[in-house]
Amino acid sequence: MTALRIGQGFDVHVFGDGDHVMLGGVRIAHDRGVVAHSDGDVLLHALCDALLGAAGLGDIGEHFPDTDPRWRGTAGADLVAGVMTQIRAAGWQVVNADLTVVCERPRVGAHRGAMRTVIARLLDVDETAVNVKATTTERLGFTGRGEGIAALAVVLLSGT
Ligand code: MG
Structure confidence at residue 100 (pLDDT)? 98
Dump pLDDT digits (tens) for 20-31. 999 999 999 999
The chain-wide mean pLDDT, for the chain, equals: 95
Q: Is 150 exposed, middle or buried (0-12, 13-18, 19+ CB in 10 A)?
A: buried
Structure confidence at residue 68 (pLDDT)? 85
Per CATH, domain 3-159 is 3.30.1330.50: yes
pLDDT band, residue 119 (cuts 50/70/90)? very high
Q: How far is the CA of 83 from the centre of ligand 1 (A)?
A: 14
DSSP lists the bridge partners of residue 94 as: 157
List all residues 6 or more positions away from 69 whose beta carbon is below 8 Å from its beta carbon.
Answer: none
Q: How far is the CA of 35 from the centre of ligand 1 (A)?
A: 10
Q: How far is the CA of 1 from the centre of ligand 1 (A)?
A: 35
Q: How far is the CA of 160 from the centre of ligand 1 (A)?
A: 31
Dump pLDDT digits (tens) for 54-108. 999 999 999 988 888 888 888 999 999 999 999 999 999 999 999 999 999 999 9
Q: How far is the CA of 132 from the centre of ligand 1 (A)?
A: 17
CA distances from 45 to 49, 101, 145, 159 (A): 6, 12, 22, 23
Domain ranges of the chain: 3-159
Residues 53 and 6: their CA atoms lie apart, in Å, by 8
Residues with CB under 5 A from ligand 1 (ion): 11, 45
